[in-house]
A and B are shown apart, each in its own frame.
Chain A
């Protein structure tokens, strides 16, 4: 048993008062959860504290909150760990971000999270009529692959932590895009290309993700939403060649091309190549890209002013000394006919653990 200090963000919509912090002391073994702490306060001191919770085992997805500022499920965050990370040992618990607060730690998930989920047409659009008297026959790996997205419990932690959504509240967001991958990766679905084209064309769609990894970090079920978003992008560009007005396609091509050529990112070339088809200096940029380039100018000017960009660096980007190694990686990747998409259900968390694991398949009788 140890004593912990909980600082809970409280808000009573009926009081007319603003949200405030309330301090409570709880007594629990360190391996118990922050949720257990909150429930102890509710049980012993004040049962009016609002928090959704049910399973206590990180499967129902009810108790998404922010603990010491970080989105998480209260039920699978150990109270001892939270105290170590909290300032002066005090554990702060707030409602999730990016969603309106209804009361105390309860957010309006319907208004944000579920609305975005419904945006991605979240049901199977079967490719063909269901076979009579049997299942669809699909590769075992494909089912394992989408199982990672299927493991999502819709807790909203990723939505809460999403930095892109903070800037663009209309962003479809990590949870809904992971849900989209659950269909795009499912061989039984017949609308892969339409789904991808739709998500690519939407200016709040899959190219709105800025690769910040926040969703991967906070996801309690290791769904890795950002990885699912990257898979959507790879499928859109690699499998279907979907060219979109958001320049997602051009940006990816430019990025990969520059790395292959230079080994590091030639930033001065990235924008023109993303918007157009080729080098700015050689005048290969398409006219329609000029407008977007002009709009990006202030960013460049700021870079010059702060010294982040220098004319020398911008024009003469050096290749990596051992650029051949980078080329070799590209060659290795290109030599595979298929893209390898590995997820947790296939490799586990730590592939190094695999030594000694047998390659035995499922034990069918």
Chain B
């Protein structure tokens, strides 16, 4: 049985940052990931990372922008911490070797981003997430003392008899062997759940594994209804065009050639916060002013050619390879697309969940710093600051703790469960069929605009799919790289995520941030300035409870851009 002090599950930015911090804190650390760490979806963060590093800027300004962006649902103590620690975190990355863009003086250069009152987004062309991810992995290779379990798939968390976390059950994808890992602390850093929706900007691996695993052991999920639709994604495929494009000056037009953001956000225009821009686009499309393929146009040609080459190369490639459009010469058709879940496993400012010894960081967690709507370039920051804080806290907290005793029963239970999937008759639906129906359902009923009837329909479908997933058929009966059986497990994780999203969306009877209810079109601070928490309740419907939004210095105001 592999034994480590701290077990990090997931090796994107949050996971790698947590592992490095825990190792620095003196703990023996292992990091487990179902894909090789550099394949993690943090790669896809193109635009940059926010920090009030410029002496002209202040962390308070960054924090206020974040609070306002969150539609006042973000917890202000956590937001203050994130924004205050941002410059130091950014400099740490630079010192490790991230090749951040420089200005003429050789100092860090920055670009404008949505919902921000100052240009404070630091970047590496439009491959910022990729550059940071690969540099963190460089550091991980350097720290040989951190054990890396690459291409291991975690199926369940394991607790001691007293409820404290004791480890996890993990399948070595390479040979199919199931292992029980013992750990004094487990940090979940498994990313988001975008695959519950189709299309999505999210990678195929973003199936909400950690969110579901935490939920299954009793950790509350918070703000799960808050799903961000990114304003600029390719129709059909859902691939991302960075907000950095608009940060560099790109403009949005409807099919009539109108720069429609003038109507919705006369001051910030295209750089209003994402929920505002996505709603504006969807309104134009719904009211017949979009293109026949259900899109509006993003015009990048107004950005100087030199700037495109040095700062937006990746989206030139995306346009060319995936849409057949040269964005330096013509506008590209885009629409709002599923992009990010603000909600997740509820944690405190140290990343601790309600399960002793269990932490969560990054997109799978909800601290909450993003509230109802995340600002662009705050996600990388969130992963790094709270990844580090989780790792450091865990390394400290486990000192003096007795050895955990994860029971072998949990291993046997998982083994039987997987064996049953592999050996069952192929009479049920295919994994891909259920997944496709889930994705289409979420896209139809739980997207930019929602209402009671649609959400209830979605809940009915999701619950039926949960039943069907119990007997899903798999083709692959082998041990080596059996991706089919992993797909069946991911499907169950996704369905738990989807149910939580829909139940929360039904519960919140107002419009705030990314949740817009056409049947409750206004924000209602009196009744709904609070977090919705869901806790698993055996096989029955999830238990709904509420928690206060932490306010430190910013009272809710009307939100205008």
Residue of A nearest to B308 (CB): A348
Question: Is the C-beta of B239 less than 8 angstroms from some C-beta in chain A?
Answer: yes
Contact A47 B44 (CB under 8 A): no
Contact A358 B109 (CB under 8 A): no
- Distance, CA A357 to CA B303, complexed state (A): 10
Check A54/B102 contact, CB under 8 A, given A48-B478, A122-B138, A362-B109: no
Contact B106 A137 (CB under 8 A): yes
- Distance, CA A365 to CA B127, complexed state (A): 22
Closest chain-B Cβ to A79's Cβ sits at a distance in Å of 13
- CB-CB contacts of A76-91 with B at 8 A, as 1s and 0s? 1010000000000000
Check A58/B317 contact, CB under 8 A, given A140-B106, A358-B305, A362-B109: yes
- Distance, CA A53 to CA B135, complexed state (A): 22
Q: In the complex, which residues 26-78 of chain B have their Cβ closer than 8 Å to any Cβ of chain A?
A: 35-36, 38-41, 43-44
Closest chain-B Cβ to A347's Cβ sits at a distance in Å of 7
- Distance, CA A264 to CA B138, complexed state (A): 43
Contact B310 A346 (CB under 8 A): yes
Check A186/B97 contact, CB under 8 A, given A47-B475, A57-B322, A110-B150: yes
User: Considering only CB atoms and an 8 Å cut-off, how many residues of chain A contact the other chain?
Assistant: 77
Closest chain-B Cβ to A349's Cβ sits at a distance in Å of 8
Contact A76 B35 (CB under 8 A): no
Question: Is the C-beta of A363 less than 8 angstroms from some C-beta in chain B?
Answer: yes
Question: Is the C-beta of B318 less than 8 angstroms from some C-beta in chain A?
Answer: yes
Contact A136 B94 (CB under 8 A): yes
- Distance, CA A364 to CA B105, complexed state (A): 12
Question: Is the C-beta of A123 less than 8 angstroms from some C-beta in chain B?
Answer: yes
Residues from chain B with a CB closer than 8 A to the CB of A130 are 91, 95
- Distance, CA A364 to CA B311, complexed state (A): 13
Residue of A nearest to B329 (CB): A353
Contact A57 B141 (CB under 8 A): no
Chain A interface main SS type: loop
Contact B130 A153 (CB under 8 A): yes
- CB-CB contacts of B296-326 with A at 8 A, as 1s and 0s? 0000000011111111011001100110100
- CB-CB contacts of A97-108 with B at 8 A, as 1s and 0s? 000001110100
- Distance, CA A362 to CA B103, complexed state (A): 7
Contact A61 B103 (CB under 8 A): no
The interface centre, meaning the residue of B142, B478, B481 with most chain A CB atoms within 10 A of its CB, is: B481
Residues from chain B with a CB closer than 8 A to the CB of A152 are 134
Residues from chain B with a CB closer than 8 A to the CB of A362 are 101, 103, 109, 111, 307, 311
Residue of A nearest to B123 (CB): A362
User: Considering only CB atoms and an 8 Å cut-off, how many residues of chain B contact the other chain?
Assistant: 83
Q: In the complex, which residues 96-132 of chain B have their Cβ closer than 8 Å to any Cβ of chain A?
A: 96-97, 99-112, 118-119, 124-125, 127, 130-131
Residues from chain A with a CB closer than 8 A to the CB of B104 are 140, 361
Question: Is the C-beta of B243 less than 8 angstroms from some C-beta in chain A?
Answer: no
Question: Is the C-beta of B248 less than 8 angstroms from some C-beta in chain A?
Answer: yes
Question: Is the C-beta of A295 less than 8 angstroms from some C-beta in chain B?
Answer: no
Contact A52 B309 (CB under 8 A): no
Check A126/B127 contact, CB under 8 A, given A43-B432, A58-B321: no
Contact B111 A363 (CB under 8 A): yes
- Distance, CA A59 to CA B118, complexed state (A): 29
Contact B476 A47 (CB under 8 A): yes
Contact A60 B41 (CB under 8 A): yes
- Distance, CA A56 to CA B436, complexed state (A): 16
Residues from chain B with a CB closer than 8 A to the CB of A58 are 317-318, 321
Question: Is the C-beta of A339 less than 8 angstroms from some C-beta in chain B?
Answer: no
Partner pick for A103 among B36, B138, B150, B481, CB 8 A cutoff: B481
Check A154/B309 contact, CB under 8 A, given A54-B35, A55-B41: no
Contact A56 B203 (CB under 8 A): yes
Partner pick for B102 among A78, A140, A354, A363, CB 8 A cutoff: A140
Question: Is the C-beta of B385 less than 8 angstroms from some C-beta in chain A?
Answer: no
Contact A47 B138 (CB under 8 A): no
- Distance, CA A360 to CA B249, complexed state (A): 13
- Distance, CA A139 to CA B104, complexed state (A): 7
Partner pick for B91 among A62, A133, A183, CB 8 A cutoff: A133
- Distance, CA A46 to CA B484, complexed state (A): 9
Partner pick for A109 among B36, B102, B107, B483, CB 8 A cutoff: B36
Contact A140 B109 (CB under 8 A): yes
Contact B99 A146 (CB under 8 A): yes
Question: Is the C-beta of B410 less than 8 angstroms from some C-beta in chain A?
Answer: no
- Distance, CA A126 to CA B94, complexed state (A): 11
- Distance, CA A66 to CA B306, complexed state (A): 34
Closest chain-B Cβ to A83's Cβ sits at a distance in Å of 16
Q: In the complex, which residues 148-205 of chain B have their Cβ closer than 8 Å to any Cβ of chain A?
A: 150, 174, 203-205
- Distance, CA A151 to CA B304, complexed state (A): 22
Closest CB pairs A-B (n = 5): A357-B305, A48-B476, A124-B97, A43-B432, A130-B95
Given A12-B478, A133-B91, A147-B131; 10 other pairs, CB 8 A cutoff: A43-B430, A57-B318, A57-B322, A103-B478, A151-B313, A357-B305, A357-B306, A358-B304, A361-B103, A362-B101
Can you list 20 pairs linking A and B with CB atoms under 8 Å apart? A14-B479, A43-B432, A43-B433, A57-B322, A60-B44, A76-B322, A103-B478, A123-B97, A123-B139, A124-B96, A134-B107, A136-B94, A137-B105, A137-B107, A143-B100, A153-B130, A183-B97, A357-B306, A360-B304, A362-B111
Listed in ascending order, the chain A residues whose CB lies under 8 Å from chain B are 12-14, 31, 42-44, 46-48, 50, 52-62, 76, 78, 102-104, 106, 109-110, 117-118, 122-124, 126, 130, 133-140, 143-144, 146-147, 150-154, 182-183, 186, 188-189, 221, 344-348, 353-354, 356-365
Listed in ascending order, the chain B residues whose CB lies under 8 Å from chain A are 35-36, 38-41, 43-44, 91, 94-97, 99-112, 118-119, 124-125, 127, 130-131, 134-135, 138-139, 141-142, 150, 174, 203-205, 237, 239-240, 248-249, 304-311, 313-314, 317-318, 321-322, 324, 328, 430-433, 436, 474-484, 487
